[in-house]
Amino acid sequence: MASSPRSISSDEKTKEEEVILEAQADPSIDSPPTTKDGSSPDPAPPTAELDGGLRAWFQVVGSCLVFANLWGFTFAFGSFQSYFELHLLRSESASSIAWIGTTQVFLLIFGGVLTGPFFDLGYYRGMLLAGAAIETIGVFMTSLCHEWYQFFLAQGVLMGLGCALLYIPGMALVGRAFKKNRAIALAVTTCGAPTGGIIYTVIFQQLIPRVGFGWTVRIMGFVMLGMYTLAIPLCLFRVTNVGNLSSGTKRKLLDLRAFRDLPFCWYTFANFLVFTGYMIPFNFMAAFGETSINLTQSVSLTVIIAAQASSIGGRLIAGWTARRIGVMVPWITCALTAGILCIAWIGARSKSSFFAVASLYGCFSGALIPLPPSVFPVVCPDPKVFGARLGMAQGISAFASLIGSPIGGALITRAKDGRENFLGLQLFSGAAEIAGGCLLLGLWVLLVKRGRGGGTKWI
């Protein structure tokens, strides 16, 4: 008889949650450090065992502001995509414009994996300061751009490199400051992403008609500078819970044996497909509203804001559900539903239906970011290769984020009346997420059959 969610022992569930949250906090973790003679190193300072307190919650607020900048600007790229297509870069295709935003996302994720070891060595202060400076400079340089290659270098490459330095410290500092309430702290931190997307989209929406593109982006830069001025001192407020964590241990970035492990390959390919379609609606809904159903620029951007706001609720609901019935059920449900909503987007020909589809998509797609790392300890239970394989899976997903929107943009056609036809883009985005959801269903069956769920189907 199959076990129910409530039949799992509390000790087993607590142990699994600790592994999950440690992985989310520090993706570079590979194996317990040892000294040259094979013995365990000296224990970390007592402050490494912090569990909340005012100091730790200051770090949560600071990291939330960091995420509002590095992910928020990414979620706001849909407003740039629409404006570039219709005004500033009208001679460029939607696909080529999309490369600007996806390059930033790719460098954020893939670069974050590569910079993880620097955090282990204790360079988190330098990473925060350098990353904030580089990203802010990238915003101000974007305000001066006029050609596609200039936007690609400033907004895509320069800002992406800055985000790569901020990604791991923004998450790991919080993860190491909590034990009992770590899940809550990390949830609050990641909610900074859609919150930042709302802030920057509203700024773009309200200021573009008044002061033009250049000064709108400069004001965004000043807002970013102000948030980092507050965020970094909060992140570093009396920080004593992180030092040199490497302990002389050489950490692997690759474990090629992973490609002979069927659950890892299945997980990675499924997540790749989901991420291929994930950002496409956020990047193109504003352009769709203006060109296909004749909404004003302001109303089209309001649709994006609604999607980002509902994403916050989606993340929190999915996390609450996952703690009760496991990760796989909400992950599969959200992936399949998000794909179906992309198909339903085809029929959104009025303002009300467009708002409804966008809001629902934001809610269900919001769960697709925090859930995948939470189930990875079941996919890869070996702590000796856990960090390397998690980094590999995230790095491969970064390539999906890189190519998804440009492929979708290339599928946009122009009708005889001059309107853009988004049918190919909508079908591609929906098919990718539905296919990924179906593979996740297969992954669930595979994990249960191989007994990696600890004797329960509620993984």
- The pLDDT value recorded for residue 47 is 37
10 band by pLDDT with thresholds 50, 70 and 90:
very low
Is 60:174 a contact under the CB 8 Å cutoff? yes
Which pLDDT tens digit goes with each residue over 271-297? 999 999 999 999 999 999 998 888 998
- The pLDDT value recorded for residue 451 is 79
- The structure's pTM equals 0.82
For domain 49-237, give the CATH superfamily: MFS general substrate transporter like domains (1.20.1250.20)
CATH of domain 251-459: 1.20.1250.20
- The pLDDT value recorded for residue 414 is 82
Find, among 257, 358, 373, the residue nearest to 319 by Cα.
373
DSSP per-residue letters across 340-405:
HHHHHGGG--SHHHHHHHHHHHHHHHGGGTTHHHHHHHHH---TTTHHHHHHHHHHHHHHHHHHHH
Which pLDDT tens digit goes with each residue over 157-182? 999 999 999 988 887 788 777 776 66
- The pLDDT value recorded for residue 251 is 62
Segments making up each domain of the chain, as ranges: 49-237, 251-459
**How large is the average pLDDT for residues 25-39?**
44
Which pLDDT tens digit goes with each residue over 352-371? 999 999 999 999 998 888 88
Tokens of 453: 């769920």
Distance, CA of 130 to CA of 116 (rounded, Å): 15
**Of 172-176, 180-184, 185-189, 341-345, where does the model show the most confidence?**
341-345
Return the residue matching tokens 């992406």: 160
Mean of all residue pLDDT scores within the chain:
84
Q: Evaluate if residue 86 carries a pLDDT over 80.
A: yes
Distance, CA of 289 to CA of 385 (rounded, Å): 46
Between 376 and 181, the higher pLDDT residue: 376
251-459: same fold as 49-237? Answer: yes
Tokens of 9: 């022992």
